Structure 1
């Protein structure tokens, strides 16, 4: 029988008969379960529900030894005997008949992900997922039409050229330098702040207000500025 009612023990090959039968069901739930709060619309629905409280498996598969308590469970089981496998694994050739079977299969990939590595043939890129490698490979196939005006660097994006130029070629000119150490900076305020770090260690010229961190600097100063007192 092609059409089977899930509430009553009704079966038919005719779709119009099946629809007519459905009208006979009342919306009033008048068949309560004696073991829980469930209330069924018809005796057949109640009998189907009662199997949840027992070990009775009244629905049998005609193709194997499988038995189910509910018809819906049997219907899901019958998919196993179907040759159609619509659920494909994105990592290998596996295909499953049911989505839960595919989920179980995907666990095998997650457990072995660390052991499997996909390498790019054109650079040092590597990943544990083939899908990521495919996306990465597209970066090598794009035409690099933008070039740096200073060196041989090329890119598919103008923004990359600007970033490259700023990071590589536009290094700031450190024209402010400390006379007491090797510190250099491109900003005068930074140098001023740095000089303060030497203030407590400075040596003073005995003849003027000149100070320096190194004694040799003070001696050199005296020879140049106060030669008659050296």
Structure 2
């Protein structure tokens, strides 16, 4: 009934968090205590809720119960599916307060916000490289390992990041998505436009 009334009678004693359900408050309280009572029996993963453990177990089983109605995409979580569906609808719910940037996921917005703050949370263990997102760090780490997991379907080109592959594919398609506001110049890379 609390979900209908909007009432949230269960309040955290340490912060302003309130919930309509006691179980949610109990899970929230673990963010303060650090308690992680749910453990994976396959690896060392531990978490604060049974729901998170259930999601984690799919990394071992390979189960992907969430499917897209439009394409063959399958995933492990409903949040990933919601985010994927926006690739079909073009919907960009998350907006930056400082500029006109819009995106489909909260994690992308968080990463984008660091372009304004200059914050670089992710650091390389091997060198002094620092960056704003885990995906950039992953790509950077491949400069040390030499790994090039992204391959072109048309030629023998291999690279370290999906963005590099996307840019390379334009050499085959001839696509020039970057346009100048002042003249008719069009190009395949944002760096060329800059």
TM above 0.5:
no
Of the two, which has the highest radius of gyration? Answer: 1
TM-score by length of 1: 0.30
TM-score by length of 2: 0.34
